[in-house]
Chains A and B, each alone.
Chain A
């Protein structure tokens, strides 16, 4: 069966993409940002997921104000990079996993999460920047990708609790998919930032640290944060952090934080990054072996009973 083995949280600042595309990664300002993802790329290369579910938001690229879906699941076979006004980013087209995506859609809709199904979609920096940060700049992406676009542009976005519960429903869906697939789920956006109005430039590192701490230790506490607190404390656009709770909801209650990185600023934003691993990813095989053993033992007992009765 398919299994979610880990979650990745990462900011998706557009200027990071621009720095990559314009060869600025060695400049001290950007080196500070990119060096924080060196270990992560190594981790990803070792982890070798088959599929990445990437929770992100569109920034007036695929969706304008004509349609504003709260949750939109990408079920297409491929997702080209969007033209955000400077031509599409020079990154490979992302290959989808339509079969798993359709399975997830069916499962979570029956679990009462009314997703929008998207069969044609271009993806912007919200998705491609975290892909670069974790996979580098390969000619082809090494895994298939299922985009999940969340409205965090128009207020109100879904609540943190709703996001967390959707994560749980996605996990259930993935685990009921018969093919053996290693799945990593991304939560992207944030951390604290405000890019609009006279209060633009707001950063709240204390809040960000508390958020990352609780993401690992006590995510349920985060699910109770009301929108007003995100906006007041972490900036009007900091509210996109709710997307990280979808990722967290899809993981075990207890996880291992294997890596964290935080730096201020990238352009106007605090950059946050975390990698959380499920603990039982190796244990699952043991568990299955154990279950098989006890089934065999029960069968032997039953056989014995039948045999005794027959005597």
Chain B
């Protein structure tokens, strides 16, 4: 079944972890959760593909995990608080993962954060239809312009 379209799918660079992704990504997230235990981390590291068979994963999900394609994991129902546990198992800091997902080096990413972060200007909408003031909510624009 194709994924239903939602207003938040218009936000660029964002995979909202909604009820449908939660259902779809149950296996990914339970796999990540299992990495809270040291013995599981060891078993995973010893043979990743074999370990992943313990979970109910689609071939695409397995592939995304093995390739450490974090954006794809999110798209297929992973949640960042869970996939971060995989990053930790690999010995990566959270900023390393964030940089990876944004396609920048960790240095570039850290410098962007120090300079005030990624601006919302130009990052609100894919379609260009939802500009501030154009949105359904008026409260937002007034809160924002304060």
Task: Find B118's partner among A60, A203, A210 (CB 8 Å cutoff).
Answer: A203
How many chain B residues touch A (CB < 8 A): the figure is 58
Q: Mark B70-97, 1 if CB is under 8 A from A, else 0.
A: 0100100001111001001000001100
Whether the Cβ atoms of A221 and B118 lie closer than 8 Å is no
Interchain nearest-CB distance for A147 vs B (Å):
17
Number of interface residues of A (CB under 8 A): 53
Q: Taking the complex as formed, is B113 at the interface, i.e. its CB lies under 8 A from any CB of chain A?
A: yes
Residues of A within 8 A of B125 (CB): 232
The proximity string for A residues 260-272 relative to B, scoring 1 for CB distances below 8 Å and 0 otherwise, is 0000110110100
In whole angstroms, how far apart are the Cα atoms of A267 and B125 in the complex? 25
Chain B residues lying within 8 Å of A134, measured Cβ to Cβ, are none
Stretch at the interface among B52-60, B61-69, B98-106: B98-106
Q: Which of B17, B102, B135, B143 contacts A153 (CB 8 A)?
A: B17
- A200 surroundings in chain B (CB, below 8 A): 13, 98, 101-102, 118
B3 at the interface (CB under 8 A from A): no
- Check B143–A198 contact: CB distance below 8 A: no
CB–CB B117/A264 < 8 A: yes
Q: With A207-B120, A236-B14 given, is the CB distance from A154 to B85 under 8 Å?
A: no
Say yes or no: B146 contacts A197, CB within 8 Å. Answer: no
27 contacts between A and B (CB under 8 A): A64-B30, A65-B25, A83-B36, A85-B36, A154-B22, A155-B8, A192-B117, A197-B14, A198-B12, A198-B14, A199-B12, A201-B117, A207-B144, A210-B145, A214-B146, A221-B142, A224-B137, A225-B137, A226-B137, A228-B11, A229-B139, A231-B8, A233-B132, A233-B140, A265-B114, A265-B117, A268-B98
Among B8, B130, B140, B142, chain A packs the most CB atoms within 10 A around the CB of B140
For the complex, give the distance between the alpha carbons of A237 and B13 in Å: 13
Q: Which residues of A contact B (CB under 8 A)?
A: 14-15, 59-60, 64-66, 68, 83, 85-86, 153-156, 192, 194-207, 209-211, 213-214, 221-222, 224-229, 231-233, 236-237, 264-265, 267-268, 270
Q: How far is the CA of A267 from the CA of B146 in the complex (A)?
A: 26
What number of A-B contacts does a CB cutoff of 8 Å give? 179
Docked-complex contact B11 and A65, CB < 8 angstroms: no
Q: List chain A residues, Cβ under 8 A from B11.
A: 199, 228, 231-232, 236
For the complex, give the distance between the alpha carbons of A156 and B17 in Å. 9
